């Protein structure tokens, strides 16, 4: 008799108000030698991808391309996806003669997500990764198509329409799968900076050897072998020139717009790309150093709104839906990446997910240097100069970007913020709190969609929301000495006109005072008799 062990796979459904699930969309290969586990196949069958109305062919299903897969462990991810098999270039290794490979940025992000507190993820594979050492002409020619895999419609020309039906999964591609992922709270696209970068810069002629760790130990016959130098440390991580920031900014703005229209309960967790020195020099006075005012550069280049401009243009990344991590991190696990640097979005998503599970999604994930999850961060590019006062370049950048910086005792996340130009939406905890409230409001509203639109239903819905908000207030998510000071709920004739009532529309107005906000914020939940619920709170700032 033989015993066969198989990694268990979670079901599709989880707690509806859970706020720690991340969706990863990007380029990664499928491990073809590994057959699709029965548990994963059953998961896809329950979602309708096997024999449902939007079923796929056998080959497409085995490839797991453009199919959302729920992952609850690094072991399952490692079994399904060849995350460590991205080709470096066409030339083989001069020493071994074998093709050179590095890790994918999607794989590194998922690895960091689980290592730093994440428990559940959804992976959408949009294609195989491209070779890291690719010519500038090849990258430029394929950039739009690659971004189109992540953001459908990005590769379409002006006037070319594309069909996307939020109720028809057969039309979904890339991030459009969020339309059917009600449990997802965070979105990561780790390949975005690399897809927008130009030709990778050649490494410097002389590369200093990494110094061995200091220390004196007794001689041992079982000493751990030194880490193998794969040569990846000499390859420079992707950096954007002035031409690269344009597509990246447009792509992030497209993500922001999609979330605002179709999934207001999700936050985009991205990595702020590293700039090339020649990208910032024309925008400064006589050139800048890597540690100078990055925020000023981003404003001048149009990534953020210009100084004194409160609102954001359509191509600005300033939004309550966006959190960007910076700088890129050198961790003990990043030896399989170029320059041994990983984008910070996977690390940030893991910290946010872990904080949501431990302290609530409203709590800031910044400032706790005692958390052992960051002790594997050895350095970063660039290393921000923290502690020089509130007017320092690093402190100014931390007002709009989730900044990692060294402190006494190790590296820590110094700021947990969105990129919003509106200070009321600047706190990352406030934005995540409102997203959680929107999800909770939608779920409670769906429970009365088919009830009579009258005072009895209004009172029942109002009590349900009041009980929900009291729980948030007791958890410290809302300010105020009493529940009456922390929030208010109205669902009566003052929130609806007679025309609303006659046409089956139910409108509930919820006003809350988040603990980390400078002003009260109002959520409006509108339910229609046709069974469609709509909740509005966050604006694209």
Exposure pattern of 493-510 as b/e (b: 16+ CB <10 Å)? eebbeeebeeeebbbbbb
Q: Is residue 209 part of a domain?
A: no
pLDDT at site 100: 87
Q: Strand, coil or helix: what is 87?
A: strand
Residues 380 and 291 in one domain: yes
Count how many domains the chain has: 2
- φ and ψ at 193, to 5 degrees? -60, -40
Residues 521 and 406 in one domain: no
Residues 460 and 410 in one domain: no
Q: Is residue 182 part of a domain?
A: yes
Residues 332 and 295 in one domain: yes
Residues 31 and 66 in one domain: yes
Residues 154 and 190 in one domain: yes
Q: Is residue 246 part of a domain?
A: yes
Shortest CA distance to 394 belongs to which of 408, 404, 380? Answer: 404
Give the whole-angstrom CA distance, residue 404 versus residue 406.
7
Task: Give the list of residues 6+ apart from residue 288 with CB closer than 8 angstroms, or none.
Answer: 277, 280, 281, 297
pLDDT at site 76: 96
Give the whole-angstrom CA distance, residue 160 versus residue 247.
19
Predicted TM-score (pTM) of the model is 0.85
CATH number of residue 502's parent domain: 3.30.360.90
Q: Is residue 214 part of a domain?
A: no
DSSP code per residue over 355-390: HHHHH-TTS---S-TT-GGGTTEEEEES----SS-T
Q: Is residue 437 part of a domain?
A: no
Residues 193 and 322 in one domain: yes
Name the DSSP class of 451.
Answer: S
Residues 259 and 320 in one domain: yes
Q: Which domain holds residue 240?
A: 21-199+231-421
Residues 474 and 341 in one domain: no
Residues 270 and 324 in one domain: yes
pLDDT at site 368: 56
For the chain, 541 residues long, give each residue's pLDDT as a single digit of tens: 444 444 444 554 545 556 899 999 999 999 988 888 999 989 998 888 888 777 777 777 889 999 999 999 999 999 999 999 999 987 666 556 678 899 999 999 999 999 998 999 999 999 999 999 888 888 888 998 999 999 998 766 545 567 888 888 888 999 999 999 988 999 999 999 999 987 666 555 555 555 656 665 566 555 555 455 557 888 899 998 777 788 899 999 999 999 998 998 999 999 999 988 765 554 333 333 444 567 777 777 777 764 444 444 667 788 999 999 999 999 999 999 999 999 999 999 999 999 888 888 888 888 655 455 588 899 999 888 766 566 777 888 888 999 998 877 788 899 999 999 888 888 999 899 888 888 887 777 777 767 778 888 889 889 988 998 998 899 888 988 999 999 999 999 999 888 888 888 888 898 988 887 656 777 676 765 444 444 455 443 3
Q: Is residue 114 part of a domain?
A: yes
Q: Is residue 73 part of a domain?
A: yes
Residues 245 and 337 in one domain: yes
Domain boundary, last residue among 357, 388, 421: 421
Q: Is residue 213 part of a domain?
A: no
Residues 191 and 151 in one domain: yes
């Amino acid at each position: 008799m033989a015993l066969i062990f198989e990694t268990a796979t979670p079901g599709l459904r989880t707690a509806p108000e859970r706020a720690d699930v991340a969706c990863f969309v990007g380029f990664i290969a499928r491990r073809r030698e590994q057959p699709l586990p029965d548990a994963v196949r059953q998961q896809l069958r329950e979602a309708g991808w096997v024999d449902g109305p939007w079923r796929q062919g056998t080959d497409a299903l085995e490839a797991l391309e453009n199919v959302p897969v729920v992952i609850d462990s690094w072991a399952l991810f490692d079994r399904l996806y060849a995350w460590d098999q991205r080709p470096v270039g066409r030339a083989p290794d001069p020493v071994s003669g074998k093709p050179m490979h590095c890790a994918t940025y999607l794989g590194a992000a998922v690895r960091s997500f689980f290592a730093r507190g994440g428990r559940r993820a959804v992976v959408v594979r949009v294609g195989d990764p491209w070779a890291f050492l690719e010519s500038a002409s090849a990258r430029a020619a394929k950039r739009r198509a690659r971004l189109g895999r992540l953001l459908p419609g990005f590769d379409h020309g002006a006037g070319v329409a594309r069909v996307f039906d939020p109720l028809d999964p057969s039309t979904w591609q890339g991030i459009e799968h969020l339309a059917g992922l009600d449990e997802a709270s965070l979105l990561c696209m780790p390949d975005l900076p690399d897809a927008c970068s130009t030709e990778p810069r050649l490494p410097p002629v002389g590369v200093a050897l990494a110094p061995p760790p200091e220390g004196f130990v007794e001689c041992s016959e079982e000493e751990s072998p030194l880490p193998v130098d794969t040569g990846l440390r000499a390859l420079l991580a992707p950096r954007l020139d002035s031409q690269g920031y344009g597509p990246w900014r447009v792509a992030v703005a497209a993500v922001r717009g999609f979330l605002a229209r179709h999934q207001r309960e999700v936050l985009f967790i991205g990595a702020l790309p590293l700039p090339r020195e020649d990208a910032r020099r024309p925008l400064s006075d006589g050139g800048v150093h890597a540690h100078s005012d990055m925020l000023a550069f981003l404003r001048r280049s149009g990534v953020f709104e210009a100084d004194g401009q409160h609102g954001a243009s359509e191509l600005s990344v300033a939004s309550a839906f966006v959190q960007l991590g910076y700088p890129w991190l050198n961790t003990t696990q990043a030896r399989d990446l170029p320059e041994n640097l990983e984008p910070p979005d996977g690390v940030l998503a893991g910290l946010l997910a872990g904080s949501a599970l431990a302290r609530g999604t409203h709590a800031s994930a910044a400032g706790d240097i005692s958390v052992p999850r960051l002790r594997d961060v050895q350095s970063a590019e660039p290393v921000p100069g923290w502690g020089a006062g509130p007017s320092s370049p690093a402190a100014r950048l931390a007002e709009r970007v989730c900044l990692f910086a060294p402190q006494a005792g190790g590296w820590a996340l110094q700021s947990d913020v969105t990129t919003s130009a509106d200070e009321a939406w600047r706190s990352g905890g406030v934005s995540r709190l409102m997203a959680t409230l929107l999800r909770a409001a939608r779920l409670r509203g769906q429970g009365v969609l088919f009830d009579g639109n009258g005072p009895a239903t209004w009172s029942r819905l109002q009590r349900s929301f009041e009980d929900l908000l009291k729980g948030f207030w007791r958890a410290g998510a809302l300010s105020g000495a009493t529940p009456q000071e922390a929030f208010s709920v109205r669902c009566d004739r003052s929130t609806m006109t007679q025309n609303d009532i006659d046409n089956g529309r139910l409108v509930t107005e919820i006003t809350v005072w988040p603990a980390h906000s400078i002003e009260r914020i109002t959520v409006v939940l509108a339910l229609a008799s046709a069974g469609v619920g709509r909740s509005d709170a966050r604006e694209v700032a």
